Amino acid sequence: MQALAERLHHLNYQYYQNDVSEVTDQDFDRLLAELAALETAHPALAQPNSPTQRVGGSITKQFATVPHRYPMLSLGNTYSEDDLREFDERVQKGLEGAPYAYVCELKFDGVAMSLRYENGQLTQGVTRGDGTKGDVVTANVRTIRNLPLHLRPVPNQPPDLEVRGEVFMPLVVFAELNAEREANNEALLANPRNAASGALKLQDSAQVAARRLSLFAYSLLAPGRTFGSHSETLEALTAYGLPVSDTWRRCTSLADVLAFVHEWERKRFTLPVATDGIVIKVDNLRQQDQLGFTAKSPRWAIAYKYPAEAGRTRLLAVEYNVGRTGAVVPVAILAPVPLAGTVVKRATLHNANQIEALGLRVGDLVLVEKGGEIIPKITGVVLAERPVEAVPIVYPTACPACGTALLRPEGEVHFRCPNERGCPPQLKARLEHYVSRKALNIDGLGAETVGRFFDLGLLPTVADIYTLSTRRAELVTLERMGEKSIDNLLAGIEKSKAASFDKVLFGLGIRHVGETVARKLAAHYRSIAALAAAPAAEMAAVPEVGGIIAEGVAVWFREPENQRLIERLQAAGVQLALTGEAPALASKALTGKSFVLSGVFEHHSREELQRLIESHGGKISGSISKKLSYLVAGENMGPAKREKAVAMKVPIITEADLLALLPGHGSPAGEAPGGSAQPQPQLSLF
């Protein structure tokens, strides 16, 4: 087993670091299968960093949160070369004229990760979180194929070290994933960064492995002063077998830095990973210590961000898509234009107001901007080059899918199709929403299968999902529906009956009822019967709900078709009530008080503070008003909220002030025993 593991680790390193295939894929898979069989036969001898962990398989119900040994701080950003010159002047002044050099690195657009290696073995992977603490995602990190699970032994290697890196989804993987989602009529992922972040939050590491994430290491931290410069740490990371991008460069002057910035402005689009700028750091670590930090970021580093990529092309047509709630959304069809390393053919137009504001006509030469989103946006029209045959855009008055006359409710930007019961895109989208991961999460019922079953008349409504077990004879006659697929589908449907009431409520797709509102309503009323009987005025008083949402929910439950739907779901055994007793309050210290949370907090996440407030009888509000009791201000709180609170004379308190309001509340979470501070970094942080 040990020999197999070492052989597989070596083959992985050769393939992902040196681009060398020493064996065929078939031979590699054979060796991996042999090791997996041995581990199954001898589980006590299986190692946590075995190559078999690359494929995932562990299920995490909840990610533990731990404090960072070394804070994961943020960098100051700039889009201006003048700001870089000012930064250089500050460095020169802070170092009192001593010679210095910079290291320039590409800023990869991914998810920051902290990796701990003990005696060469990967023992922990933690997300950035709020910078002081993050989520433990070790099982998910182990699936990253180019990340070594154990380091290559090198003389003087620190026995306990921390590696900082950027987890990303390669562009080719992102394109393949979105092509698959588009074929299944699923919503496209916005960008590779969001795709990588979402993958790391998956609770099944096998699903993470399927996302084929990668990582570039960019920093090394360890107790003591092992290295003299940041460039030396990058070389050490490479020697240890960690993936370090070879695009970094040591620059001895600002002119060299600016040359690096200009060189990569276009060249970055040839890389297999999304980038959005350059990180510039003083190389010498003692000089970094001399320059020190501001309250939020180091004085020895800065990030230069490239402006959003823009281009010019022709608007060929406008398509109109109908969503789950009936909103009709316009999409621009463009003459293909290369932009930020891809060929752009479509751009979002948002709504009729946007079209009117831009003054768009079909045939116009338009300015298109891509600032990281998968669907770019039109930012302007080149009026001087408008062709005489350009055609004004007339928003449709009838639904493009079912022909029903469109409505535009007062105060809303979208035209909507009111044919909720007969508009095919709306009906399909509601089915897809019900079976989605955040709702009932029914295995075997993806968007493609849902659409296919809908077209065949098998799924007119979500309640019909629970009749499929009686229609097995029809299912086996369908293409690509073998016995095993049908068994998996029916098992997934049966499992969905155990989904909690708030998931079902969210899955019903009631307009304005997102995950948070569904959770609040479920917790307050505890059953669908009580919720259906509640008047809108009473419902509006539930935190996060309000008048518009409450009226919409009340109207939904008054519809006879929806009442019949609930009856059918209840008969099928779906959970339409919370089980057990309502949780008792820890105290009533905050009863009658309302709070808005804003910014990043030192000892708790925003969600933790929200639960804490609610457990003592307080309410969370979504906006600042004169009736608000307190604004709880964390770091990086937006100035607009502070100004509004001051204008309305709302008290502004800190996290510590909030905790002081609670009876018997001990030391803030994350504080070291006896009040001792967490250890401070002695090497480069970034």
Residues 6+ apart with CB under 8 A from 661: 589, 590
Rounded distance between C-alpha atoms, residue 559 and residue 79, angstroms: 54
SS (H, E, C) 558-582: HCHHHHHHHHHHHHHCCCCECCCCC
Are residues 522 and 502 in contact, defined by beta-carbon separation less than 8 angstroms?
Answer: yes
Rounded distance between C-alpha atoms, residue 148 and residue 533, angstroms: 58
What's the farthest any 2 CA atoms get from each other in the chain? 83
Rounded distance between C-alpha atoms, residue 348 and residue 327, angstroms: 14
Which of 174, 221, 163, 218 is CA-nearest to residue 197?
A: 174
User: How many other C-beta atoms can be found within 10 angstroms of the C-beta atom of residue 521?
Assistant: 27
The reply to whether 627 belongs to the active site is: no
- Determine how β-strand 652-653 pairs with β-strand 630-633: parallel
SS3 166: strand
Are residues 414 and 396 in contact, defined by beta-carbon separation less than 8 angstroms?
Answer: no
The active-site residue out of 93, 107, 428, 588 is: 107
Cβ neighbourhood burial of 23 (10 Å; 0-12, 13-18, 19+): middle
- Both structure tokens of 194: 């969001």
- Both structure tokens of 409: 């409710």
Rounded distance between C-alpha atoms, residue 459 and residue 478, angstroms: 15
Which of 636, 593, 640 is CA-nearest to residue 612?
A: 593
Rounded distance between C-alpha atoms, residue 146 and residue 168, angstroms: 11
SS (H, E, C) 360-397: CEECCEEEEEECCCCCCEEEEECHHHCCCCCEECCCCC
The phi-psi region of residue 56 (left if phi > 0; otherwise alpha if psi is between -120 and 50; otherwise beta) is left
Residues marked active site are found at 107
